[in-house]
Amino acid sequence: MEDVDQSADGQLEKSPETHNLWTLAIQNVVLRVGWIFKTESVIMPYVVDAISGAGWVRGLLPILSRVGQSVPPLMYADRLRSQPLKKFPLFFTAIAMALPFLLLSFVWSRLEDRSIWWMTPFFLVLYFVFFSATGLNQLVFGTLQGKLVRPNRRGFLLGIGGTVGSIFAVTTALVWLDSWISQPNYDGFTWVFLFNGSAFFVAGLVALFCIEHRDADREIPKIRIVEPFTIAWKIFWHDRSFRKAAYVAMLFISSLLVFPHYQWLGRERIGTDATDLIYWVIAQNISVGFYSPILGRIADLYGNRLAIRVGIFIVSLTPLLAVFFASGYLENAHEWYWLTFVLLGLTPVIMRTILNYTLELVEEDQHPHYLSTMKIIFAAPFVFAPFVGYLIDTIPYQIPFIGVSILVLIGGALTFRMVEPRDQLDSVSHKGE
């Protein structure tokens, strides 16, 4: 797809690519604004502590998140390929993201005691439904992006969505979040959940403004339980380039195993309070806006492989930094603990960069299958998430944090074995000259 098209009279006309790039960027910005009110490292674990408080329940959050973001997309990938217009699934999946939070807001507003016995399973079910919709939404977004935006402009899209999204997200958090989460009896979460749902709903509407050519009609396949997993296994086993990236992704994603426990570490070991949650959320979201254009620029100029490598090596330091602040060596550690969340902001940026890398491994027709398979790879380590939560409650907490840091560091080292798809494309193009 070119930046410009040539008309019959020789005039250059603006391509829909630029319009679509900015439309997808705006959609990303609106999602980021809603996302800041449900961060997995701060807000959602805080909600779980309000209704339960058990470490193993916090440990369920990452596995529900990853399974939801991986298995449903895998089941839907074949069907998505048959959709002639991808913007409509992007709209419907965003609406599906909104509904669990709108329902949770209504139920929360009707309860006086939020620690009632059924609230924990009810919340966890909605949490899983939300992330199932999120996984589908991300699959459709990646596929639509692969259709509408060239590889060397996807980093720019990542940077715009991250930077502008962070500005708006942080602004809304400064205006409302503190007053909401500081209300007695956690009453303010009624408004937090309502805001989340509303933002995701608006993001769905924005998706409808994409200008998309209609793909050739395909027969809608029947959904079979085993076949998507068979396809994913074949991709992993037979595509060596993908498999190398998959090993890196699995080791990197292990960093999320301790994600829900950073806020616990701050409150229980360092002595922070609820007000500090605001600064952590803001620090994490500002850092997303800071890292997105940097890694996006690296990816556009030098390829996604280098951007992934740089990001993973930095992320490997995050658990070590948290353990240092909790060690007692620094008297005013509670004033500096927010720096941990500055590093945490790299995680979603690297995940998006890995998905962009995956898009470059295959032709457009195979994007849904490869993206959904990488989502399964993202989920694989999370079978250990409840066990990590249990360990943090029963053994010295330093051990799980340091262990995760080592795994991520190994993942960074393995990036040197990954191929750079653009080098291969350059080689092919030179042979054809």
User: pLDDT tens-digit profile of 336-375?
Assistant: 888 999 998 899 899 999 999 999 998 888 888 899 899 8
Q: Is residue 6 part of a domain?
A: no
Q: Cα–Cα distance between 253 and 259 in angstroms, integer? A: 10
Q: Cα–Cα distance between 43 and 425 in angstroms, integer? A: 43
pTM of the model: 0.74
Q: Return mean pLDDT, the chain.
A: 85
Question: Which 8-state DSSP code applies to residue 105?
Answer: H
pLDDT at residue 312, as a whole number: 97
Chain segment 231-256, per-residue pLDDT in tens = 889 999 999 999 999 999 999 999 98
Question: How far are the Cα atoms of 73, 232, 390 from residue 139, in angstroms, in the given order?
Answer: 6, 14, 32
Q: Is residue 241 part of a domain?
A: yes
Q: Cβ atoms within 10 A of the Cβ of 214, count?
A: 8
pLDDT at residue 160, as a whole number: 82
Q: Which of 7-21, 98-112, 125-139, 355-369 has the lowest mean pLDDT?
A: 7-21
Q: Which of 219-223, 392-396, 401-405 has the lowest mean pLDDT?
A: 219-223
The CATH number of the domain holding residue 309 is 1.20.1250.20
Confidence of residue 181 (pLDDT cuts 50, 70, 90): confident
pLDDT at residue 12, as a whole number: 41
Q: Is residue 378 part of a domain?
A: yes
Confidence of residue 41 (pLDDT cuts 50, 70, 90): low
Write down the H helix ranges in 173-273. 178-181, 189-207, 227-238, 240-253, 262-265
Which domain, by its residues, includes 260?
13-213+224-419
The full length of the chain comes to: 433
Q: Contact at 8 Å (CB) between 384 and 190?
A: no
Chain segment 128-143, per-residue pLDDT in tens = 999 999 989 988 998 8
Residue linked to tokens 């409150």? 267
Token duo for residue 137: 């939404």
Q: Which of 318, 337, 315 is nearest to 269 (CA)?
A: 337
Q: Is residue 190 part of a domain?
A: yes
Q: Is residue 7 part of a domain?
A: no
Q: Is residue 365 part of a domain?
A: yes
Average pLDDT over residues 188-193: 91
How many domains does one find in the chain?
A: 1
pLDDT at residue 3, as a whole number: 52
pLDDT at residue 218, as a whole number: 67
